[in-house]
Structure 1
Amino acid sequence: MKKINLALWGDNGHQIYKDLELYPEFELVAIGAFAESAESDLLQKYSDIKLENDFEKLIHDYGVEMISLCSGHRSEQADLAVRALDKGIHVYAEKPCALSEKDLDRIIASAAKSKALFHEMAGTLWEEPYWSIRKIVQSGQIGEVVQVLAQKSYPYADWRPRNEKVDGGLLAQVGVHAARFVEHVAGQKIKDIYSQTSTLGEVRKNSDLKMATSFSGRLENGGLYSCIANYLHNPGMGSWGNEMLRIFGTKGMIESCDAGARTRMIIGDKDFGDLDLSDEKLDFLAEFIKEICESRKMLLSLEEELSPTRWMIRARGFQ
């Protein structure tokens, strides 16, 4: 099996080095822009890899075929992605991959011209129970989707960036999960958006961290959606984050609560209880690898994949 020469750039986010053993298709050849502790661990574990903190040299000098981006500042990530794509290097980028529609369109245009492929780390749909929920919705069991209610919460911490240029901010890096629930899971395209944010609860000085947001609007089919996101999750829940999704259709309702711990479907006067999640599970990065190695098409087009990020960029305009 010919391996994919992989480089990792930055560790600000869900960098994939902790999961490399799950993907034997990768050959890690170089890393750059890592925190000292993570850098040391990787150099010790993978003795043959190179350390290169000059991005231009990283994508030129080491035979890199794919790069995973978790840049120290999300505001820089779109430019890095475009530079890699222009060199024919596949790109897997932490969310948000861009902080402006102009940069998002640059990525899409570069991917269209390049022999290489681009994906954001947009695997929400590929996780259970959301994969099964999408299949049920598409089967028509709950009828036509009329309204979607979604929530995503993470805990507050002193290490949360005070500047949204670092991680994209609450809407773009947390709210995007809720937007994916609407578009990728419920299968409904957002038509418009209105959002509000609050800094209430952020006690640090010189911080623009948003603690809570709500955004809502109309769906292209005429239905409605309402979403919230916040940094108000408490560890007593027993999970790192907390999320909720309820999809209301003309025939029934399907839901996932408490980060997927509870699921339920009701159609008419029948309560089907917990969803059957026994089907084969897919893995987003594994699907990306198949797209590279076997030319398999991904379930979503790149425009569909990035649409939630686009709407979160638009929502940030209300801040």
Structure 2
Amino acid sequence: MYRVIMGDMQGSGKDWNRREWFASALAASAMAAPTKLPHKIRIAVIGQDGHLGDILSPLPQLPDVEVVAYSDTSAAALASLGKKIKNDQARGFLDQRKMLDESKPDLVAVVNDDGARAGAVLETLQRGIHCIAEKPLAITRSDLDKVKRAARNSKGKLSMLLPLRFAPQFLAMRQVIDSGEIGDVLLLGGQKSYKRGASSDWKNKRSSYGSTMLWIGPHLVDLFYFTGRIKMTEAFCWQTNVKDPALGDRENVVGGVFRLANGGIAELRMDYLRPDIAPTHEDDRLRVAGTKGVVEYTAATGVTVISNDSKPRRIDALPPAGSVFVDFLDTIYNGKPGALTVEEVFHVSDVIQAADDSSRSGRAVKV
């Protein structure tokens, strides 16, 4: 259940940026009872170009989990990754296949660059090893199809790093929608606006980045699916780089529209245009409108609700943060129902691939 405080919807809510969500989750983990598993779990890490913190931050609450091996593409990168893992007993490898064969991990976290991800995921699943991967699973439709086939045929389970559905504000929004207060969901809108940041070589090449839709889009598409519980059936997308040659192939403006299975619409906007002077690196927003009301989140207002049944209000006491990695472990080893299923992972992957295909063809693409 959630508790609310009546008041001005423009009042000062908690300014939750993404790094604060993760810091909050880590702090909560430190105070929470450890997550026990039936036996010791040996994990290996491939790369550090993705959100490695989603794997490493929960480790203090996972006494049965140990990083035993890690792999990266150069000696310098390997040394950097080793320092982040902070386990002198873990072995470093420049060859990920050799690492998988010699260290024999129970589970692999794949957080390399987007272009190399599908290959690492396939190597893992083909050995029957559980795999949790950064998003996207692949940057081409053909590679995505290979990953999906491998996952269906492997003894290893697959998940993807979609942490925002475990963040307090979006959990609160889901509770409001599940309560029926805003009625049937018909329109979803989302935003992710980032500071341009320092140049990142792998992100500036299509061969290693894919696209901004494929890299950032999964967050919003997953939030649409998580909160609204409605599949997307068609996508139309525009994405391009405007007046920022230093970003190379990386698109700095993206717009997308999705048809919902119930006839409704979802729309997103993403950019690398947030001013450097802004207090946070990103500005995330989510709005869900239904037949009876609206629930939305912005950093300025927090989570707010207005409906036919109540006055405008802000939800002040949010649910505790969860962890996508802990959820995956609990599903595999403790038999708990997953808050993120592989079917949801595949739907998000199919939707972003359709949107990316649309941006290159100039036509709407079926999901």
Does TM, scored on the shorter chain, surpass 0.5? yes
**CA 1:21–1:194: 2 relative to 1, 3 Å:** same
TM-aligned CA deviation for residue 33 of structure 1: 0.2
TM-aligned CA deviation for residue 261 of structure 1: 5.6
Given that 1:146 and 1:249 are in contact with CA atoms closer than 8 Å, whether structure 2 keeps it comes out as yes
Q: Distance in 2 between matches of 1:106 and 1:295?
A: 27
User: 1:101-180 counterparts in 2 under 5 A?
Assistant: 101-160=141-200, 161-180=203-222
Question: 2:44 matched to 1:24?
Answer: no
**CA 1:22–1:242: 2 relative to 1, 3 Å:** farther
Q: Distance in 2 between matches of 1:311 and 1:242?
A: 23
Given that 2:182 and 2:289 are in contact with CA atoms closer than 8 Å, whether structure 1 keeps it comes out as yes
Alignment-derived partner of residue 224 in structure 1:
265
Q: What one-letter code is carried by the residue in structure 1 that aligns with 2:127?
A: K
Q: Distance in 1 between matches of 2:102 and 2:342?
A: 29
Per-residue Cα deviation, 1:209-245 (whole angstroms, up to 9, x for no partner)? 1110100032110111111011112344422211111
Per-residue Cα deviation, 1:6-27 (whole angstroms, up to 9, x for no partner)? 1111111111464233432311
> Which of 304, 315, 328 is matched with 1:264 structurally?
304
**CA 1:269–1:165: 2 relative to 1, 3 Å:** same
**CA 1:23–1:261: 2 relative to 1, 3 Å:** farther
Alignment-derived partner of residue 72 in structure 2:
33
Given that 1:129 and 1:277 are in contact with CA atoms closer than 8 Å, whether structure 2 keeps it comes out as no
Relative contact order (alpha carbons < 8 A, sep ≥ 6): 1 or 2 greater?
Answer: 2
> Which of 233, 240, 253 is matched with 1:212 structurally?
253
Q: What one-letter code is carried by the residue in structure 2 that aligns with 1:302?
A: V
Question: 2:46 matched to 1:4?
Answer: no
- TM-score normalised by length of structure 1: 0.91
Per-residue Cα deviation, 1:255-299 (whole angstroms, up to 9, x for no partner)? 0013x8622000127334212444344322111111121122313
**CA 1:253–1:83: 2 relative to 1, 3 Å:** same
> Which of 51, 56, 65 is matched with 2:92 structurally?
51
Given that 1:117 and 1:292 are in contact with CA atoms closer than 8 Å, whether structure 2 keeps it comes out as yes
Given that 2:189 and 2:288 are in contact with CA atoms closer than 8 Å, whether structure 1 keeps it comes out as yes
Q: Distance in 2 between matches of 1:112 and 1:234?
A: 44
Q: Which runs of 5+ in 2 are unaligned?
A: 1-37, 361-367
Q: Distance in 2 between matches of 1:217 and 1:181?
A: 13
Given that 2:116 and 2:208 are in contact with CA atoms closer than 8 Å, whether structure 1 keeps it comes out as no
Q: Does 34-43 or 240-249 show the bigger shift?
A: 34-43
TM-aligned CA deviation for residue 166 of structure 1: 2.0
TM-aligned CA deviation for residue 315 of structure 1: 1.4
Alignment-derived partner of residue 131 in structure 2:
91
Q: What secondary structure is seen at the aligned counterpart in 2 of 1:11?
A: coil
Q: Does 85-94 or 162-171 show the bigger shift?
A: 162-171
**CA 1:22–1:238: 2 relative to 1, 3 Å:** farther
User: 1:259-298 counterparts in 2 under 5 A?
Assistant: 262-268=302-308, 270-298=310-338
TM-aligned CA deviation for residue 3 of structure 1: 1.5
Q: What secondary structure is seen at the aligned counterpart in 2 of 1:177?
A: helix
Q: What secondary structure is seen at the aligned counterpart in 1 of 2:183?
A: coil
**CA 1:195–1:165: 2 relative to 1, 3 Å:** same
Q: What secondary structure is seen at the aligned counterpart in 1 of 2:132?
A: strand
Q: Distance in 1 between matches of 2:212 and 2:62?
A: 30
Per-residue Cα deviation, 1:87-113 (whole angstroms, up to 9, x for no partner)? 121111011111123322322222222
Question: 2:220 matched to 1:181?
Answer: no
Q: Moved runs in structure 1, 4+ residues, more than 4 A? A: none
Alignment-derived partner of residue 233 in structure 1:
274
Given that 2:234 and 2:354 are in contact with CA atoms closer than 8 Å, whether structure 1 keeps it comes out as no
Alignment-derived partner of residue 235 in structure 2:
193
Q: Which runs of 5+ in 1 are unaligned?
A: none
Q: What secondary structure is seen at the aligned counterpart in 2 of 1:238?
A: coil
Q: Does 6-15 or 288-297 show the bigger shift?
A: 288-297
Query: What is the aligned-residue identity percentage?
Result: 22
User: Pairwise CA RMSD of aligned residues?
Assistant: 2.1
- TM-score normalised by length of structure 2: 0.80
Q: Size of the alignment, in residue pairs? A: 315
Q: Distance in 1 between matches of 2:249 and 2:276?
A: 24
Given that 1:178 and 1:228 are in contact with CA atoms closer than 8 Å, whether structure 2 keeps it comes out as no
Q: What one-letter code is carried by the residue in structure 1 that aligns with 2:134?
A: E
Given that 2:232 and 2:260 are in contact with CA atoms closer than 8 Å, whether structure 1 keeps it comes out as yes
